[in-house]
Structure 1
Amino acid sequence: MELPPPAIERLKALKDKTEASSYAEVTKNAYRLYDLIIEMQEAGRTLMVKEPSGEVKELQIFV
């Protein structure tokens, strides 16, 4: 898989932040999350985030 330099830097940063053992692990986890979000959207569900202020908002992913 070929990625532009900015995408490679993001991949490296995610690997470090998550302490993943490999780039494949980061990619696998990203696919799982992406699949879950799509399934939730297809089922009519929404994802909510709680702001530090306590306010709860819908997370807009695919606008």
Structure 2
Amino acid sequence: MEKKTTKTTRVQLELPEKSYERLNLLKEKTEAASYAEVLKNALRLYESVINQYDAGKRLYVSDQDGKLIEYEIFY
């Protein structure tokens, strides 16, 4: 059985120390196998949110009192 290969592109990032710490914390919290996995998941989530926003849908979060607040989408 042939192994399916996916074309990949190597990307090198330079991050400020604080951003690297955030990336590392997300990797630990999500038990991701790699930084690449964290970034791929983040891109999927961001893409989904942007697509929903472009379709006229809005994202809300609830505060401690149950009040809904529209989550600001920035792009």
TM range (shorter): 0.7 to 0.9
2-structure distance, mates of 1:57, 1:22? 33
How high is the TM-score relative to the length of structure 1?
Answer: 0.86
2-structure distance, mates of 1:52, 1:17? 23
Gaps of 5+ in 2: 1-11
Identity %: 51
CA-atom RMSD, angstroms? 1.5
Q: How does 1:1-63 map to 2 (within 5 A)?
A: 1=12, 2-62=14-74
How high is the TM-score relative to the length of structure 2?
Answer: 0.74
Q: How many residues align?
A: 63
Amino acid aligned to 1:14: L
Amino acid aligned to 2:18: P
